[in-house]
Structure 1
Amino acid sequence: MSAAWLASTALAIGLIGTGSAQAQTSQSSAETASDQAIIVTGSRLGRTTFDTPTPVTVLGGDNLKQLAITNVGVGLNQLPAFRASTSPATQGFGSFNVGANIVNLRGIGTSRNLVLVDGRRFAPSTREGTVDLNLVPSVLVGRIEVVTGGASAAYGSDAIAGAVNVILDKDFEGVKGQADYGVSGKGDGDNFHAGLAFGTKFAGGRGHFLIGGEYDDQKGIGNCFTRDWCTSGANVTNTGFATNGLPNLVRSNENAGWFFNSAGVVSINNNAAGTGATIRNLRGTNGITFSPTGAVLAYRPGSPAFGLSQIGGDLYPTYTDANITVPVTRYSAFAHADYEFSDRLSGFIEGSYGHIIGKLLQTAYFSASIPVFADNPYMPAEIRAIVGPAPGLTERPAAATFSLGRVLDDVGRGYSVSTADTYRFTTGLKGDLGGSWNWDAYYQYGRTDRLQTVENNLVTGDPTQSLTNPATYAAANARFQYAIDAVRDPVTGNPTCRALLSANAALRQAAAGCVPINLFGAGNVTPQGKAYIFGTLREDIRLQQHVLAANVRGDITELPAGPVSVAGGVEYRVDKISVVHDALSNQYAYFQNFGSDYRGTSKVLEGYAEVGVPLVKDASWTKSLSLDGAARVTRYDIQGFGSYLRAAASNAFTRATWKISGLWEPVDWLRLRVTQSHDIRAPNFAELFLASAGAFTPITNRFTNSANTPAIFSGGSPTVKPETADTTTAGIVIQPGSAAQGLRLSVDWYRIRVKDYIATAPGGVQQIVDRCFAGVQIACNLITFGANQSITQIRNVSLNLDRLTAQGIDFEAQYRYPLGEGSALTWRGLATYVSKLEATSFRQSIDRAGQTGQSAAIAAPDWIINSYLTYDGPLFSLTVQGRWITKGKYDAIYSAPGDAGYTTTVANSINNNNVGGRFYVNLFGSVRVYGDRAHGIELFGSVNNLFDRAPPAAPETQFYTNPTYFDTIGRYFRVGARFNF
Structure 2
Amino acid sequence: MVATPAFAQGTPPADAAASDSDVIVVTGSLIRNPNLTASSPVASVGENEISLRQTTNAEQLIRNIPGVVPSLGANVNNGNNGTSQVDLRGLGEQRNIVLLDGKRIIPADSDGAVDLNNIPVALVSRVDVLTGGASTTYGADAISGVVNFVTRADFSGMDLQVQNGITEKGDGHNIRVDMTVGANFDDGRGNAVLSLGYQQSDPIYQGDRDSGIFGISTTTGVASGSSFTSTPTAISASGGDFQINPAGTAFVPFYQGFNFNPYNIYSTPFERFNMYGAARYEVSDSIEVYSRGMFSKNKVSTIVAPSGIFGVGYDIPRTNPYLTPALQTQLCTIGGITCTPTTITIPAVYRRTVEIGPRVSEYVTQQFDINVGAKFNITDTLSFDLYGSHGESENQQTQSGYVLNSRVQQALNATNTTSCVNTANSCVPLNLFGTITPAQAAFLNGSSTITNKTELSQVHGVLSGDFGFTSPAASDPIAFAAGAEYRNYVAKRIPDILALVPGELGGAGGAVLPLSGGYDVREAFGEIIAPLVSDKPFFHELTAEAGVRYSKYKVDAAGSPKFSATTWKVGGTWAPVEDFKIRGNYQRAVRAPSISELFAPVVTSLTNLNRDPCAGAAPTTNANLAAICRAQGAPAASVAAGSIQTPSAGQANYTGGGNPNLQPEKANTYTIGVVLQPREFLPNFTMTVDYYNIDIKNAITRATPDDVLNACFGNITAASATSAACTGIRRNVANGRLSGTSTAANPIPGLPSPRTNLGRLKTDGIDLALNYTYDFDVVKLGLNFQGNWTHKNVFQASSTAYARDCVGYYSANCESIQPEYSFTQRTTLSFDSVDVSLFWRWIDKVEYEGSASDFVARGFTAANRRIFSGTVTGPSPLAGNSYDFNRIKAYSLFDLTTRVNVTDNVEVTMAAINLFNKKPPIVGSTTGSTAFNSGNTYPSTYDAIGRRYSVTARLKF
Q: Is TM (by shorter chain) over 0.5?
A: yes
TM-score (norm 1): 0.82
Structure 1 residue 672 and structure 2 residue 617: aligned?
no
Residue identity matched to 1:888: V
Per the alignment, residue 939 of structure 1 pairs with 908
Describe how 1:857-896 pairs up with structure 2 within 5 A.
Answer: 857=815, 859-890=817-848, 892=849
CA distance in 1, matches of 2:57, 2:735: 52
Describe how 1:699-848 pairs up with structure 2 within 5 A.
Answer: 701=614, 703-704=628-629, 706=644, 712-763=654-705, 767-774=707-714, 779=725, 783=729, 793=749, 794-820=751-777, 823-842=779-798, 843-848=801-806
* Residue pair 1:895, 1:913 contacting (<8 A) in 2 also: no
Q: Using a 3 Å threshold, how does the CA distance of structure 1 residues 32 and 909 change in structure 2: closer, same or farther?
A: closer
* Residue pair 2:356, 2:401 contacting (<8 A) in 1 also: no
Structure 1 residue 969 and structure 2 residue 949: aligned?
no
Per the alignment, residue 24 of structure 2 pairs with 38
Structure 1 residue 520 and structure 2 residue 433: aligned?
yes
Q: Using a 3 Å threshold, how does the CA distance of structure 1 residues 662 and 789 change in structure 2: closer, same or farther?
A: farther
> Which secondary structure does the structure 2 equivalent of 1:866 belong to?
strand
Shift of 1:897: 12
Per the alignment, residue 279 of structure 2 pairs with 337
Structure 2: runs of 5+ lacking an equivalent: 615-624, 630-638, 739-747, 869-884
Shift of 1:370: 5.1
Structure 1 residue 587 and structure 2 residue 587: aligned?
no
Residue identity matched to 1:558: T
Per the alignment, residue 573 of structure 1 pairs with 487
CA distance in 2, matches of 1:856, 1:330: 32
Residue identity matched to 2:155: F
Residue identity matched to 1:660: V
Residue identity matched to 2:408: F
CA distance in 1, matches of 2:399, 2:858: 47
Describe how 1:7-22 pairs up with structure 2 within 5 A.
Answer: 21-22=1-2
Shift of 1:857: 4.1
1:228 to 210, 214, 220: 210
Shift of 1:815: 1.0
CA distance in 2, matches of 1:786, 1:886: 41
Q: Using a 3 Å threshold, how does the CA distance of structure 1 residues 288 and 530 change in structure 2: closer, same or farther?
A: closer
CA distance in 2, matches of 1:60, 1:855: 35
* Residue pair 2:289, 2:374 contacting (<8 A) in 1 also: yes
How many residue pairs match? The answer is 866
Deviations 1:250-285 (A, max 9, x none): 624442432346532558xx4673xx67xx5xxxxx
* Residue pair 2:702, 2:754 contacting (<8 A) in 1 also: yes
Per the alignment, residue 370 of structure 2 pairs with 425
Shift of 1:367: 5.1
CA distance in 2, matches of 1:753, 1:610: 23
Shift of 1:512: 7.9
Describe how 1:143-162 pairs up with structure 2 within 5 A.
Answer: 143-162=126-145
Structure 1 residue 559 and structure 2 residue 471: aligned?
yes
Per the alignment, residue 607 of structure 1 pairs with 524
Shift of 1:661: 1.0
CA distance in 2, matches of 1:927, 1:393: 80
Structure 1 residue 545 and structure 2 residue 460: aligned?
no
CA distance in 1, matches of 2:948, 2:85: 22
Q: Using a 3 Å threshold, how does the CA distance of structure 1 residues 320 and 779 change in structure 2: closer, same or farther?
A: farther
Shift of 1:606: 0.5
Shift of 1:778: 7.5
**More deviation, 412-421/970-979:** 412-421
> Which secondary structure does the structure 2 equivalent of 1:618 belong to?
strand
Per the alignment, residue 745 of structure 2 pairs with none
* Residue pair 1:580, 1:597 contacting (<8 A) in 2 also: yes
Describe how 1:380-391 pairs up with structure 2 within 5 A.
Answer: 380=324, 382-387=326-331
Shift of 1:105: 1.1
Q: Using a 3 Å threshold, how does the CA distance of structure 1 residues 590 and 649 change in structure 2: closer, same or farther?
A: farther
CA distance in 1, matches of 2:253, 2:453: 50
* Residue pair 1:584, 1:590 contacting (<8 A) in 2 also: yes
Shift of 1:32: 6.9
Residue identity matched to 1:768: V
* Residue pair 1:661, 1:676 contacting (<8 A) in 2 also: yes
CA distance in 2, matches of 1:215, 1:423: 16
* Residue pair 1:896, 1:910 contacting (<8 A) in 2 also: no
* Residue pair 1:846, 1:893 contacting (<8 A) in 2 also: no
Q: Using a 3 Å threshold, how does the CA distance of structure 1 residues 689 and 923 change in structure 2: closer, same or farther?
A: same
Describe how 1:385-534 pairs up with structure 2 within 5 A.
Answer: 385-387=329-331, 400=346, 404-460=349-405, 478-483=406-411, 486-487=412-413, 489=415, 515-521=428-434, 523-527=435-439, 529-534=440-445
Shift of 1:681: 1.3
Shift of 1:679: 1.0
Shift of 1:802: 2.0
CA distance in 1, matches of 2:184, 2:465: 29
Shift of 1:364: 2.1
Residue identity matched to 1:25: P
Per the alignment, residue 13 of structure 1 pairs with none
**More deviation, 258-267/913-922:** 258-267
Deviations 1:38-97 (A, max 9, x none): 341111122449922100011112221123233222111121121222111112x23632
Residue identity matched to 2:86: V
Q: Using a 3 Å threshold, how does the CA distance of structure 1 residues 724 and 898 change in structure 2: closer, same or farther?
A: closer
Q: Using a 3 Å threshold, how does the CA distance of structure 1 residues 768 and 32 change in structure 2: closer, same or farther?
A: closer
Per the alignment, residue 468 of structure 1 pairs with none
> Which secondary structure does the structure 2 equivalent of 1:687 belong to?
helix
Q: Using a 3 Å threshold, how does the CA distance of structure 1 residues 49 and 920 change in structure 2: closer, same or farther?
A: farther
When the two chains are superposed, the root-mean-square deviation of aligned CA atoms in Å is 3.3
Deviations 1:157-201 (A, max 9, x none): 111110011111131111111001000011000001111111111
2:266 to 324, 331, 335: 324
CA distance in 1, matches of 2:338, 2:220: 44
* Residue pair 2:456, 2:488 contacting (<8 A) in 1 also: yes
CA distance in 2, matches of 1:587, 1:208: 54
> Which secondary structure does the structure 2 equivalent of 1:434 belong to?
coil
Deviations 1:117-168 (A, max 9, x none): 1111011122322111111211111221111111000000111110011111
Q: Using a 3 Å threshold, how does the CA distance of structure 1 residues 802 and 577 change in structure 2: closer, same or farther?
A: closer
CA distance in 1, matches of 2:829, 2:49: 13
Residue identity matched to 2:327: I
Shift of 1:331: 1.3
Per the alignment, residue 979 of structure 1 pairs with 955
CA distance in 1, matches of 2:145, 2:605: 37
* Residue pair 1:42, 1:54 contacting (<8 A) in 2 also: yes
Shift of 1:948: 0.6
**More deviation, 48-57/77-86:** 48-57
* Residue pair 1:550, 1:570 contacting (<8 A) in 2 also: yes
Shift of 1:849: 0.3
Q: Using a 3 Å threshold, how does the CA distance of structure 1 residues 639 and 300 change in structure 2: closer, same or farther?
A: closer
Residue identity matched to 1:599: S
2:898 to 915, 921, 925: 925
CA distance in 2, matches of 1:974, 1:194: 13
* Residue pair 1:290, 1:520 contacting (<8 A) in 2 also: no
* Residue pair 1:135, 1:331 contacting (<8 A) in 2 also: no
Describe how 1:67-146 pairs up with structure 2 within 5 A.
Answer: 67-91=53-77, 93-94=78-79, 96-97=81-82, 100-146=83-129
Residue identity matched to 1:167: V
Q: Using a 3 Å threshold, how does the CA distance of structure 1 residues 187 and 118 change in structure 2: closer, same or farther?
A: same
Shift of 1:768: 2.1
